[in-house]
Structure 1
């Protein structure tokens, strides 16, 4: 496995891990969650347009437009919407666990669509990441004897968020060979944001709120997606999805450092499982690369 691919995906996970920090600041300014999602997509689109225009990568084949718009609908409108609904109905912890069923979805879809081999090591890594995220997110409730909400609609919404999140990986693998990352998002983001628009209640915003929204778009959308897709060009989708589960661990560590939110014992266990899974992915990727080199 190309170590640059690993570092790119890890960088993307770190950038996605700070979403909560920006969101917390903007929510405190009276901006709703769906409006944050809208502006994150819309402002990042402007950045991708500038990037694509400078690189002269704005044009796409007309026959690919339905797929690019479909990507915007599934991976922006449905993903953002379903995740917010899951948070509303089953709480943030359970929503995070359901979101990070994504590696399992990626493993299945990679085998079905991309014809990637589903090895025992990959299966073990996927299971470790899901268990790890569960421990981090649900640990405090489980150890304190608290109840976990199990609303049926919320569970379905959470699973939809995990599935649509997984499609980022599959779509990227299918279209990265045809278009640069900025080109894909120039067409996908405005369509996804437009479909969110009718459900957004806009509020007046301070200069600080705008600065946080622009920074959020620059770091967690423009920067993260550029880094992630650069990594995806160099590694299998299943491996990339496992490495990306560093995101909730980064978020939990930053929450502890900045806001005093502490890990539970299960949180530490979950973090260890995620780190171990990532090391397994890296080691198995290195062995595969060596084996391929020897065969060549």
Structure 2
């Protein structure tokens, strides 16, 4: 039985990870002539290498458990590699707003389905209510920005972008579920995250040969690339993995609906973007979604 303190710390770890992830859009906006695919590949790949380097002791201790769970580890690693490519491609093809909504909002739903179908965990009414409120909040927040890419006006690209957004949400759900499954098998959270992200790095970093033009062409571009790898990806996923020790993957991915709210507030404060009243209503609904979940974890662990 988890203690109240452990549940609160686990929740806090997930929320702090969301804050780190929410800075990526604003920070990436300071780059010049850098492909978003390169940014995503370097951030996830570089962050993965850092996770491996800082978890070598844990990886060595858990080597037999990792081998025993290699199908889940491989599935998680492949999902980590596909996620950023699908996510950034979705935003490019169908527009930032729609790509964000489809990718972010579909992940919690996909995760709870995985837990229900594979892990045989029931879906609570409280989770469904919280998800519905949070998903509407993300939708309103995205609508308030009014951002649509030029390529999104082409019907083929538009629907391809939606499909890639669903793929991004599904792969996010897959590696979150895989991490939680490995942790439940006695694998340390650092080993679980490092093994998946390390495998993904082997696929993502070589792709920079094609997409990585201008990634380090200037000091500003280099600083952004290093920040993205170290803070949101390395520290963010270190915290996310720690939180999964105490929180089910379905609840953790539900809490990540906070990420677009943080990203919007960062854009307003730092970049000077403006959002309509409907966007503030969306942020309020996301906060309600968070509040519905928090008492459940704190009370049930007492």
Shorter-chain TM-score: which interval? 0.7 to 0.9
Checking the alignment, whether the CA contact within 8 Å between 1:15 and 1:219 is kept in structure 2 is yes
Checking the alignment, whether the CA contact within 8 Å between 1:111 and 1:117 is kept in structure 2 is yes
Superimposed CA distance per residue, residues 206-260 of structure 1 (whole angstroms, 9 cap, x where no aligned partner): 2332222111111011100010111111112222112111110000001000111
Give me the TM-score of the superposition, normalised by structure 2. 0.85
In 2, Cα distance between the equivalents of 1:164 and 1:42?
16
The match for 2:59 is: 57
The match for 1:293 is: none
SS of structure 2 residue aligned to 1:114: coil
Q: In angstroms, what is the RMSD of aligned CA positions?
A: 2.3
**Match of residue 152, structure 1, among 135, 143, 159:** 159
Checking the alignment, whether the CA contact within 8 Å between 1:69 and 1:187 is kept in structure 2 is no
**Match of residue 69, structure 1, among 71, 74, 77:** 74
Checking the alignment, whether the CA contact within 8 Å between 1:95 and 1:158 is kept in structure 2 is yes
Checking the alignment, whether the CA contact within 8 Å between 2:26 and 2:271 is kept in structure 1 is no
**Match of residue 226, structure 2, among 208, 211, 214:** 214
The match for 1:120 is: 125
Answer with 40-49 or 116-125: which moved more. Answer: 40-49
Question: Is 2:48 aligned against 1:39?
Answer: no
In 1, Cα distance between the equivalents of 2:40 and 2:195?
19
**Match of residue 93, structure 1, among 87, 97, 100:** 97
In 2, Cα distance between the equivalents of 1:11 and 1:216?
15
The match for 1:165 is: 172
Checking the alignment, whether the CA contact within 8 Å between 2:45 and 2:197 is kept in structure 1 is no
In 1, Cα distance between the equivalents of 2:126 and 2:197?
36
Cα deviation for residue 45 of structure 1 reads 3.0
In 2, Cα distance between the equivalents of 1:109 and 1:96?
21
Question: Is 2:197 aligned against 1:192?
Answer: no
Shift in CA distance, 201/216, structure 1 to aligned 2, threshold 3 Å: closer
In 2, Cα distance between the equivalents of 1:221 and 1:9?
13
Checking the alignment, whether the CA contact within 8 Å between 1:11 and 1:227 is kept in structure 2 is yes
In 2, Cα distance between the equivalents of 1:237 and 1:198?
34
Name structure 2 gaps, 5 residues minimum: none
Question: Is 2:241 aligned against 1:229?
Answer: yes
In 2, Cα distance between the equivalents of 1:202 and 1:156?
27
Question: Is 2:200 aligned against 1:181?
Answer: no
Name structure 1 gaps, 5 residues minimum: 143-147, 291-296
Checking the alignment, whether the CA contact within 8 Å between 1:48 and 1:185 is kept in structure 2 is no
The match for 1:145 is: none
In 2, Cα distance between the equivalents of 1:50 and 1:194?
16
In 1, Cα distance between the equivalents of 2:140 and 2:15?
21
SS of structure 2 residue aligned to 1:235: coil
Cα deviation for residue 64 of structure 1 reads 4.1
